């Protein structure tokens, strides 16, 4: 009986080691994926800042932040110019 117990313990140990190896590999893969996603987030933050700066430039050239309502009104079809303004 002692021999069967030893075989069972060795089997459990081998199984636990294999499971540990698989989980360690999976953790490494996930760590790499997390790093890639963090890099993408940083790139998107940079792009967002660039777009916000560009938007501010356009707003200042167009006449300031209060012109938002004016720009919406300009798109409405008033019928004066016979153009389809949307």
pLDDT tens per residue across span 43-82: 999 999 999 999 999 999 987 555 555 555 655 656 666 6
Q: How many domains, the chain?
A: 1
Residue 80 is assigned to a structural domain of this protein: no
Q: Is the pLDDT of residue 42 over 70?
A: yes
Domain encompassing residue 15: 2-75
Helical H segments across the chain, by residue range: 2-62, 67-75
Residue 62 forms part of a structural domain: yes
Residue 81 lies in a domain: no
Q: For helices 2-62 and 67-75, what crossing angle results, to 10°? A: 80
How far apart, in whole angstroms, are the C-alpha atoms of residue 61 and residue 73? Answer: 18
What are 9-34's pLDDT values in tens digits? 889 999 999 999 999 999 999 999 99
């Amino acid at each position: 009986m002692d021999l069967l117990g030893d075989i069972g313990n060795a089997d459990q140990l081998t199984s636990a080691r294999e499971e540990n190896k698989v989980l360690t590999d999976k953790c490494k893969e996930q760590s790499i994926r997390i790093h890639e996603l963090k890099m993408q987030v940083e790139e998107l933050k940079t792009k967002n800042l660039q777009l916000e700066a560009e938007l501010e430039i356009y707003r200042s050239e167009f006449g300031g932040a209060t012109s938002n309502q004016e720009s919406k009104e300009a798109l409405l079809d008033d019928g004066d110019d016979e153009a389809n303004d949307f």
